[in-house]
Each structure stands twice: as structure tokens, then as C-alpha cells.
Amino acid sequence: MRPNKSAPATRISLLALVVGFVINLSAAAQTSENPGKLMPSHAIAMHGVPALPPEFEYFPYVNPQAPKGGTMRYGVFGTFDSLNPFIVKGVSARGIWDFYAGHNVFESLLHRNRDEPFSLYGLLAEKILIDEDRTFVEFQINPMARFSDNMPVTAEDVLFSIRLLGEKGRPNYRNLWKKIADAKILTGNRVRFTFDEDADREAPLILGMMPIFAKHATDVGKFSKSSLTPMIGSGPYKVSQVVGGSKLVLARRNDYWAKDLPVKRGFDNFDTLQFEYYRDQNTLFDAFKKGLFDLYREFDPRHWQKSYDFPAVKRGDIIKIEVDKKTPAIMKGFIFNTRREEFKSKKVRQALTILFDFRWVNKNLFGNGFQRTQSFWHGSSLSSFGKPATADELKLLKPYLENIDSNILSGTFKLPVSDGSGFDRKMLRKALELFKQAGYSFKNKKLVDNQGKPFEFELLIQNSKLMERLGLTWQQNIEKLGIGMSIRVVDSAQLERRKIGFDFDVTHMAYYASFSPGAEQNGRWSSPARDIEGSFNLAGASNPAIDAMIDNLIMARTSENFRTAIRAYDRLLMNGNYLMPLYHLDKQWFAISKNLRRPTYTPLYGPQNITWWDGNAEKQN
């Protein structure tokens, strides 16, 4: 393997990299020929400068000499009814535009380096121009860029795509479009977006990550409708087979325009990507055991310990991989819909959280393999857990302090810990007291409000044995206080539709965390997102304090100010009790087919299977 010119950059300390913005220093430099003018750059970052120089050859977590060939077979839990992942309607197939499996059919202007908190490098746009205050961003389209029908990608396609998503796309796209004051095409196949005063410092980067469509091949009238008709993109793969709801096959393009660019070298190594869908988790695992797909991501410690003694593992046909996590824990939990009258009271949400006996669950279901998640950035420097609020945090939170739990401010807050018996009377009494404070009473073995109406709700979950077990365990404690809790199990498509319309009482949700939280937090927790169908504000949160902290974290100019804003924000989210946190792992577990190969270096964000390759192809080459 050739020496990697980008490798030394990976040793830059995380503190120096942590999330923020500025373009490469050369982009801010003045030239003698054009005094006061900015120069375009190859990359941008949220704070500081991008780790890799303009002459970098490839990302440090790829094998630039990886052979091409073979098939990567994915097993997917659920179903799908759409090939358009950018709209509210329908459940999109995996692999089209996918954090996990790759941006395979469509591409964005810029490509993210997964070994930095948040830095983007040129892809469809070969150069980026931006001013220090981020009032505008200009993209210069790579003249080599081509769609799969061999038509060139133009500035007109870019402007068309951003406008289309702004008018018909998911809420996060629409929100960004509202903050663009002007958009125009310039000479030299360039496009410039000028932002209004409501735009945040992350807006140029978010624009750079939006998908670009072929204007000449996109039906605007049908764009927002769920469809299984493939669209034309510029990505490395094309849709070659669709079996509605059960199978998607993508074929690698031999004429892919960007295969030799530094940002794509070592990626897209399989000739074929195959996605097979299974409606039951047990059926999914059984299919993996039979060798029907190549990669299984494991999240259950006991399952990891006890369920991998089947023949394929013993023969060495399947290999177990364990990787230390570097990123913040994913916040998984049961989320309360505060649009419902039953969950408007914080005390009710606190009481229901107490009634989940994590200690019993962890011991009896998972062999004590999990840790309780105590923060939305648990396990990272951004977390507020175990840390007293600093003077700078208190300054940000000053207008809202009287409504924040003193334990959360002092860093002594912990989620309730039971005796692990599954029947902790102390916890039951504490929960009942909170219900009483919220206006409920225990009469005739029922918890009722002051009108005599019983407290009842439905837990909506996907068809998963694990989720059912968790729900049933919670239900047993809840029913001891006379609460009627039903469990509704639906398939992934039904679950998605009900989440989109906020049609649930309580449901399961996972909020992925990174070192670079930003504008996406508006869609998750801001007041305006509360009533936008399809937003990720499932809780229905509407809190001026949260809105203010989101603004602070987005507008932070230094990593220190950013960290301060995130911790203050984290305290508010935990204080709101919008979600009953579950648990997390400190490891990432994979079981893979023996023919799969992966680079030796693992980046900041963990293993990237989009950089893996087929060992059989290695032998043939």
C-alpha cells in the first residue's frame, strides 16, 4: 500500500478538531492580484481547519488499493414502499441514501470525512467559496461530474435540487430553504446561495450535504409521492432490481465519474449491493446463520454471548468483530408524546421513568452487558453527566434556572436505581407520589384523574422480540399502580406513518449523537418543529430555553463556546423528561462473512462498511 499523505492528520488531537467551522486558511487569504478577495477552498470544517490538505490522496480509513468485485449482501429488518428517501411519504429502501450503507445512487456537493467531527471535502463541487461570517456560500461544480445517463451535472441541477427539496422535501430541507435569501447561477458552472439573517453558521455545510438530482430527468409533480420507480443520480450505483417491500439490488457503474477522486478512492468496492428485507428479527438472524447475507450488527449483549455457537461460526465462515466506540452513545428510549393530555405533566413522565426497572432488565435480559444512558452525549466531552455546570453554562441558563433540577445543575443527577428485584416498593411509592402531585389518585386499584378517568396509554413498537420484552417488563411495574398500558406491535411502514403524523402515546426512538450536533437539533427538539408533520420532534417539545440553547450551539464560534452550549442544552433535555432513556454499549459488535475485508485503521466514527471489499475479488486481482 502506498504511504498515505493524509495519515499524519489523523493524529491531530480531538480537542483541536472538535466541531466548528472555518474554511481552509488559504480560502481566507488575500492575494496580491485580488486584494480583499477570497480564494476557493477544497474543504470546509465547522471549527478550525480541515485536517487534510488540498493534495491529500485518500481518507486515512480506506484501502486505496482495495480490489473491485463481488457482492455485499445486507439483511434489513422491516419493509419499504419507496425509493425516495427525501420526502415525508413512504418508507424508503435502504442503500439509496444511507448513513450506514452509503450514498450510493445520489451524491451531494461535498463528502464527509468520518475521521473528523465535521469536515467536508469537494465531490460534485470541486471548490467552495465562503466568507468569514457565512453570509453566502458558492459552489464550483466539478466539470467531470456526470449523472448515470452521462449528462453533466450543472449549477442549474444544483439550484433545481435545493429548491425542489425546499418546496417538497422533508422538513429539515424545507427549513433550510426558508433561510436562503437569494440563489443564483454564476459563470463558470458556479452557483451561489446567500443566506438571510435567520441562517446559522452550519447552513453552508448542510447545503453541501444535500442530494443533487438531474433536472432533466426529475418529475417535479410526482416527486413528493411515494414511488418504486428509480430516479437518476450521479452516484456510484444504479438500481438494477426492485421487489416491492422485500428486495433491492444496486449495480456498480463502470462509468462512475468520481472513482478516481481522493474523496472516493477506496470506496464503492462491490460490484453489487443487495438488500433483503425480513419482517421479524428472529427470521433475520436465522437467515444470517444460513449465510443469506454478509453482515449482522449486534446490539444485545446476551445474544452476543450465547447465540453465536452455530456451525458457520465454528467453521470460521462467520467471524465476530468487537470494536471500541469513540463516539457519544446513541440515546435510545421510550419517548412520551406531550401533545397528549396524559403526558403534558413532567411529573407523570418522571413517574413512568421510575417504573422502568433497568437494573432488573439489565441483569435478567442482558447479563449486565449494558450501561444506562444518562445524557444525550453520554461518554463524550460534550456530555453534562457527572459534571457541575460551569459559570459560562450558568450564564447561558440564567433566565431558566428556576425550572431546572438542582441535581442536574450540580452534576449529581442520575436516573433512578432500583434494588433489582423487579418489585421495588420504594420505587413504586416514589412514582405514586409523583402521580399524586400531578393530580392523580389511586382508587379501586386504578390510577384515576380528578374526574375519575383511568390513566391509560398505548406503547407503539416495531415488530421486535426485544422491544416486546422491554415493553412487557415495563408494563408489569406500571400495572401495579393501576395504570392500563397496552402494547401495539406494528411493522416498520406502519410505525413510520404513525410517527410522521405524531399518532402515538409512547413509542421507541433512537437519537444518534455525534461530535458535531447542529441544525438537525431544530428538527428534533425546537418549538417550531413541534407541529411540522414528519419532523423528529416526536416528544412535542416546545420550550423557549431549549430553543435558546439550540441557537447558542449553532452560533458558537469556538470549540469551548460550543462545548458550553451543548452541555447546557443536554441539561435541559434531561431536565424535560421527554424520553425515558434506555441503555448503550461501549463496544460495537459485528458478525461478518469470512470473505469480507476491511481497512486496518478505524476512524473516529467507527467502522465504515462502505470501505470494505470482497476477499474473493482480492484473490482474482
Q: pLDDT tens digits, residue range 546-572?
A: 999 999 998 888 889 999 999 999 999
Based on the domain organization, do 343 and 357 belong to the same domain? yes
Quick one: pLDDT band at residue 621, thresholds 50, 70, 90?
low
State residue 12's pLDDT score. 32
pLDDT one-digit tens code per residue, 453-473: 999 999 999 888 889 999 999
**pLDDT of 390 strictly over 60:** yes
Same domain for 267 and 164, yes or no, is: no
The answer to whether residue 135 sits within a structural domain is: yes
Distance CA 61, CA 91 (A): 31
Does residue 23 surpass a pLDDT of 60? no
Q: Report yes or no: 109 and 40 within 8 Å, Cβ to Cβ.
A: no
Any domain includes 101? no
Q: With bands split at pLDDT 50, 70 and 90, how would you rate the model's confidence at 198?
A: confident
Range of the domain at 319: 237-325+586-620
Q: Give 122's Cβ-side CA count (13 Å radius).
A: 25
Judgement on whether residues 52 and 140 belong to the same structural domain of the protein: yes
DSSP string, 97-141: SBTTTB--S-EESEEE-TTSSSEEEESSEEEEEE-TT-SEEEEEE
Q: Is the pLDDT of residue 9 over 90?
A: no
pTM (2 decimals)? 0.78
Comparing CA positions, the residue from 174, 101, 162 lying closest to residue 137 is 162
Domain count, the chain: 3
**126 and 39, same domain (yes or no):** yes
Task: Judge whether residue 443 has pLDDT over 80.
Answer: yes
In a domain, 312, yes or no: yes
Tell me what pLDDT residue 553 has: 93
* Distance, CA of 158 to CA of 124 (rounded, Å): 10
In a domain, 2, yes or no: no
Residue 560 lies in a domain: yes
75, part of any domain: no
- Nearest alpha carbon to residue 51 among 23, 9, 111: 9
pLDDT at 104: 98
At 79, is the pLDDT very low, low, confident or very high (cuts 50, 70, 90)?
very high
Confidence of residue 5 (pLDDT cuts 50, 70, 90): very low
Encode pLDDT of 477-513 as tens digits. Answer: 999 999 999 999 998 889 999 999 999 999 999 999 8
CATH number at residue 535: 3.10.105.10
Say how far apart CA 33 and CA 20 lie, in whole Å. 30
Domain termination site, one of 163, 198, 222: 222
Q: Examine the domain organization and report whether 152 and 53 are in the same domain.
A: yes
Q: Tell me, yes or no, whether 578 and 590 share the same domain.
A: no
Is the domain of 386 the same as that of 317? no
The number of helices, as runs of H, and strands, as runs of E, in the chain is 19, 28
Q: What is the pLDDT of residues 406-416, one digit of tens each?
A: 999 999 999 99
237 forms beta bridges with 252
Last residue of one domain, picked from the residues 222, 252, 285:
222
Residue 537: inside a domain: yes
* One-character DSSP codes across 528-596: GGGGSTT-S-TT----HHHHHHHHHHHH--SHHHHHHHHHHHHHHHHHHT-EEE-EE-SEEEEEEETTE
Residue 556's pLDDT is 87
- At 298-342, the pLDDT tens digits run 988 999 999 999 999 999 999 999 999 889 999 999 999 999 999
Angle CA 504–510–514, to nearest 5: 145
Q: What percent of the chain has pLDDT over 70?
A: 94
* Residue 6 banded pLDDT, cuts 50, 70, 90: very low
Q: Is the pLDDT of residue 25 over 60?
A: no
Residues 244 and 349 in one domain: no
Mean pLDDT of 417-422: 91
Give residue 619's identity as a one-letter amino acid code: K
* 285-295 tens-digit pLDDT: 999 999 999 99
Residues 299 and 340 in one domain: no
Q: How many CA atoms lie within 13 A of 221 on its CB side?
A: 0
Cα separation, 494 vs 30, in Å, equals: 56
Q: So what's the pLDDT on residue 514?
A: 87
pLDDT at 310: 97
Q: Which amino acid belongs to residue 323?
A: V
| Cα separation, 105 vs 128, whole angstroms | 23
pLDDT at 157 over 90: yes
Residue 29 has pLDDT above 60, yes or no: no
Q: Give bridge partners of residue 549 from the DSSP assignment.
A: none
Residue 98 included in any domain: no
Domain boundary among 222, 246, 272: 222
Q: Is the pLDDT of residue 593 over 60?
A: yes
Residue with cell 490522496: 57
The CATH number of whichever domain residue 210 belongs to comes to 3.40.190.10
Above 50 in pLDDT, residue 579? yes
Q: Looking at the structure, tell me whether residues 367 and 494 fall in a common domain.
A: yes
Distance set, CA 10 to CA 20, 56, 88, 371, 536 (Å): 17, 12, 38, 29, 33
Q: Are residues 341 and 374 in the same domain?
A: yes
- Asked if residue 377 and residue 303 are part of one domain, the reply reads no
pLDDT (0 to 100) of residue 36: 54
Is the pLDDT at 24 greater than 50? The verdict is: no
Is the pLDDT at 1 greater than 80, yes or no?
A: no
Which pLDDT score is estimated for 17? 32
Q: Provide DSSP, 394-451.
A: HHHHGGGGGGS-HHHHHT--------SSS--HHHHHHHHHHHHHTT-EEETTEEE-TT
Q: Which contacts (CB < 8 Å, 24+ apart) does range 607-610 have?
A: 607/321, 607/323, 608/61, 608/114, 609/72, 609/100, 609/101, 609/295, 610/101, 610/102, 610/267, 610/268
HEC-encoded secondary structure of 331-364? EEEEEECCCCHHHCCHHHHHHHHHCCCHHHHHHH
